[in-house]
């Protein structure tokens, strides 16, 4: 029976050795708690911000045009010929503008229709063809309009030209009215073209030259 004794002894020794080694092994749960206690070593990483939306392209600013005007009556074909002489091509075009006039050059109302016809005949003999006879009933019946202008200076310059042609009965007065006249637009003019337009303005007293936003093409 000695073999049984030694077998039991060996089993007890093995169990004791296993218990001893188990106590010396590190506890995984204890390691986890220890890591959790080192809070200063923990860093919170902020989430990456979403990329900003792609910028929407801004609409291009409108181009700059030079507007020369405005013209009515026989001044329209003269101004058209002057613009055509600059050979601006598609950069120049004719347009219509609504003009609120404040001054006009006129011959006061005559006594009768026959007097009106006689006066208009005299104007044609003096080379004045740009006029309008007023036939509507009212204060200005049988008067003759020789031009309407936005400024008093333009009206006076026109009156001076009529005086040179021998028209003595014309005068300048205030008359508020809205009319449609012609103007010319030049898109994105060069410095040289702007100077040429300024030269044309000098030949047309009462006309204006100003920078405006170009209309859509």
Smallest CA-to-CA distance from 89 within 210, 173, 201, 189 is with 189
Note whether residue 118 is domain-resident. Answer: yes
**Structural domain range at position 134:** 64-213
**Rounded average pLDDT over 157-165:** 94
Q: How many domains does the chain have?
A: 1
**Rounded average pLDDT over 165-176:** 91
E strands within the chain? Answer: 64-71, 92-107, 132-133, 144-149, 171-187, 208-213
Note whether residue 145 is domain-resident. Answer: yes
How confident is the prediction for the chain on average, in pLDDT?
A: 77
Q: Which of 2-11, 42-51, 191-200 has the lowest mean pLDDT?
A: 2-11
Query: Which pLDDT belongs to residue 39?
Result: 46
Note whether residue 11 is domain-resident. Answer: no
Note whether residue 34 is domain-resident. Answer: no
Note whether residue 57 is domain-resident. Answer: no
Note whether residue 157 is domain-resident. Answer: yes
């Amino acid at each position: 029976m000695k073999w049984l004794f030694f077998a039991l002894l060996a089993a007890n020794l093995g169990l004791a050795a296993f218990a001893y080694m188990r106590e010396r092994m590190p506890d995984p749960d204890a390691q986890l708690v220890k890591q959790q206690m080192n809070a200063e070593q923990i860093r919170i990483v902020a989430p990456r911000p979403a990329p900003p939306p792609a910028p929407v392209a801004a609409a291009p600013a409108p181009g700059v045009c030079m507007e020369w005007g405005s013209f009515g009556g026989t001044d329209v074909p003269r101004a058209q010929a002057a613009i055509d002489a600059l050979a601006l091509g598609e950069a120049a075009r004719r347009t219509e503008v609504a003009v609120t006039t404040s001054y006009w050059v006129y011959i006061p109302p005559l006594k009768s229709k026959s007097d009106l016809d006689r006066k208009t005949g005299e104007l044609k003999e003096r080379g004045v063809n740009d006029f309008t006879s007023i036939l509507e009933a009212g204060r200005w019946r049988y008067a003759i309009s020789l031009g309407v202008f936005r400024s008093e200076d333009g009206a006076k310059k026109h009156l001076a030209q009529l005086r040179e042609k021998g028209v003595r009965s014309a005068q300048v007065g205030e008359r508020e009215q809205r009319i449609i006249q012609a103007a010319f637009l030049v898109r994105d003019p060069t410095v040289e073209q702007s100077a040429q337009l300024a030269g044309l303005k000098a030949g047309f007293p009462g006309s204006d030259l100003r920078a405006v936003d170009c209309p859509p093409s």
